[in-house]
Amino acid sequence: MTDDKTKTPNEASAMWGGRFEAGPDAVMEAINASIDFDRRLYAHDIAASQAHARMLAAEGIIAEADAKAIVDGLDVIKGEIEAGTFAFSRALEDIHMNVEARLTEVIGEAAGRLHTARSRNDQVAVDFKLWVRDALDALDGDMRALQAALLDQAEAHAASVMPGFTHLQSAQPVTLGHHLMAYVEMIGRDRSRAADCRKRLNESPLGAAALAGTSFPIDREATASALGFDRPAANSMDAVSDRDFALEFLAFASILAVHLSRLAEEYVIWCSAQFGYARLGDAFSTGSSIMPQKRNPDAAELVRGKAGRVIGALNGLLIVMKGMPMTYGKDMQEDKEPVFEAAETLELSLAAMTGMLGDTDFDTKRMAADAAKGFATATDLADWLVRVLGMPFRQAHHVTGALVKLAEDKGCGLDGLSLDDMQGIEAGITAEILDVLSAEKSVASRTSLGGTAPASVAAAVAEARKRFLD
Ligand code: ARG
């Protein structure tokens, strides 16, 4: 705050202080002011004020000339804020009073008519909803871009065999494309949660005034539709005290952050020397100041770490809201910073994950070699015993266990056992079984709906492109 010297210390009270004799203590001003962060609402505050002024004139509540002066003056102020010449004042508390005070300087007395039939309570609710709505739209674009990057890699690797894990233990072979497509679905659900949040928030609080509505003959339908809302919020008390939209935004944001963190964690694992499945390009790697050999996936680690902030934001706001009696309380001024921070964090995290995906070389040889390790085709062997020999699955499981133990004792994989070895355990086994023991054969056989067979993955990529990107 650099510009306070141009304002009198008693300015905020000039906006509401008819009955006050002294200005606020400096500490009072410091705890009360939100202008340092809510200035981000300026464009939405101005748009909502312009809609309100136009409606007041249309209903004959203020003169047409005053409404025009207000609308034009607000455009001037918007220009000043965007040019960086606007003198924000902490003494004026928040964006609403900063703008209104400046409007008085710009157009004079008519500015005083803008706040007719309105309160900062409905004003802040409408501004904040408009901001969250824009943030949801922007994040939807970012999520879509991440899906596109995942789909490109999934398509390129529809047939690249890798180990599929449960408990981070080799379970069954899958393809990398199939693995990445799991994230396309996760982000798809995030997008649908965002859309759902947007739909539910899209009711206008404007005209609820302080809490009880107003005696002026306002047209709430008109301001709602001017601002792109579906309808006015039905209950004035709910309208000024509702912050569900911020909580839902943060809930959606937290789940998205968890998804990004899981993908980031995979990157950290895959980029380790021990796994060596992925190599990030120079643009998304960092070195160590002491260990020259290092190539660290810092961006992935930060995406994983930043999920903590987003989840913290949801927790924080839930705790702010849980003790709020009807209707507005100043506690609710604490709603904005967590939402701003979560939105900013996710925008950056999504861009980082999208960038990393485009800058990754997967070591398909290494993944394929690993896919064959750890007796990953044991289930295929058991399935063969069921299918070809008609064995009950439980018995097949038992026989396969004995074959795994034999391979373990011999220090080889299942495909390293000779036919004699196998027939020693189950006489019915024939040479045909060798066909199902490789990782490639295993994945190729998983043709069930939603399964990992390369042809199914290629088809899933095409279907998902239509569902998510068209
Ligand atoms: N800066 C306030 C907020 O963010 C605006 C609403 C103030 N309302 C009031 N009755 N003091 O919540």
128 CB less than 6 Å from ligand 1?
no
Residue of the nearest CA to atom 3 in ligand 1?
A: 333
SS3 23: coil
Rounded to an integer, what distance in angstroms lies between the CA atom of residue 12 and that of residue 25? 12
Q: Separation of 21 CA from ligand 1 center, angstroms?
A: 22
User: How much distance in Å is there from the Cα of 333 to the middle of ligand 1?
Assistant: 6
Interval 323-339 mean pLDDT: 97
Residue 201: closest CA among 241, 234, 229, 240: 229
Instruction: Provide the terminal-to-terminal Cα distance of the chain, rounded to the nearest Å.
Output: 46
- For position 294, what pLDDT does the model report? 77
- From the CA of 121, how far away is ligand 1's center (Å)? 6
What's the pLDDT band for 8 if we cut at 50, 70, 90?
A: low
pTM: 0.93
178 is catalytic: no
Q: Is the Cβ atom of 190 under 6 angstroms away from ligand 1?
A: no
User: Catalytic: 96?
Assistant: no
Residue 106: Cβ within 10 Å count:
18
Q: Is 124 in the pocket of ligand 1 (CB under 6 A)?
A: yes
| pLDDT tens-place string over residues 30-75 | 999 999 999 999 999 999 999 999 999 999 999 999 999 999 999 9
HSE, CB side, 13 Å, CA atoms: give it for residue 6: 10
Mean pLDDT, the chain, rounded, equals: 94
Catalytic residue (one of 160, 192, 272, 288): 288
Smallest CA-to-CA distance from 105 within 238, 37, 8, 178 is with 8
Mean pLDDT confidence for 128-147? 98
pLDDT at 5 over 70: no
Instruction: Read off φ and ψ for residue 278, nearest 5 degrees.
Output: -130, 150
CA distances from 213 to 50, 202, 222, 357 (A): 19, 19, 16, 51
Question: Helix 244-271 and helix 176-201: axis angle, to 10°?
Answer: 170
| Cα 168 to middle of ligand 1, angstroms | 50
Integer CA distances (angstroms), 179 to 46, 161, 167, 263, 454, in order: 46, 10, 15, 10, 12
Instruction: Categorize the per-residue pLDDT at 7 as very low, low, confident or very high, splitting at 50, 70 and 90.
Output: very low
The residue nearest atom 7 of ligand 1, judged by CA position, is 120
Please state, in angstroms and rounded to a whole number, the distance separating the CA atoms of residues 16 and 210: 14
Looking at residue 18, its pLDDT comes to: 83
pLDDT band (50, 70, 90) for residue 2: very low
**Of 12-16, 31-35, 127-131, 447-451, minimum mean pLDDT range:** 12-16
* Range name among 23-27, 223-227, 453-457 with the lowest pLDDT average: 23-27
Specify the pairing of strand 203-204 against strand 169-175. unpaired
Which residues neighbour 175 within 8 Å (Cβ) at sequence distance 6 or greater? Answer: 157, 158, 159, 160, 161, 162, 443, 452, 454, 457
**Residue 235 Cα, ligand 1 centroid: separation in angstroms?**
19
pLDDT at 374: 76
The number of the ligand 1 atom at minimal distance from the alpha carbon of 95 is: 1
Q: What is the number of helices (H) and of strands (E) in the chain?
A: 19, 6
- Model confidence at 274: pLDDT above 80: yes
What is the band of 6 on the pLDDT scale with cuts at 50, 70, 90?
Answer: very low
CA distance 80 to 42: 11
Q: Which residues on neighbouring strands pair with residue 163, listed in sequence order?
A: 173
What pLDDT does 12 receive?
A: 65
Given 167, 215, 289, 448, the catalytic residue: 167
Ligand 1 centroid to residue 30 C-alpha, Å: 14
CA-CA distance, 403 to 435, in Å (whole number)?
Answer: 16
Per cent of the chain over pLDDT 90 is 87
What percentage of the chain has pLDDT greater than the value 70?
Answer: 97
* Cβ neighbours of residue 180 closer than 8 Å, sequence gap 6 or more: 150, 153, 154, 157
121 CB within 6 A, ligand 1: yes
On the question of pLDDT at 310 being above 60, the answer is yes
Any ligand 1 atom below 6 A from CB of 240:
no
Give tens-digit pLDDT for 374-393. Answer: 788 899 999 999 999 999 99
Q: In this predicted structure, what is the pLDDT of residue 101?
A: 98
| Section 119-136 average pLDDT | 98
d(CA 195, CA 144): 13
Asked whether 168 and 375 are in contact (CB, 8 A), the reply is no
Q: What is the pLDDT of residues 282-293, one digit of tens each?
A: 889 887 777 777
Name every residue whose Cβ is closer than 8 Å to that of residue 216 and which is 6 or more positions away in sequence: 56, 59, 61, 116, 117
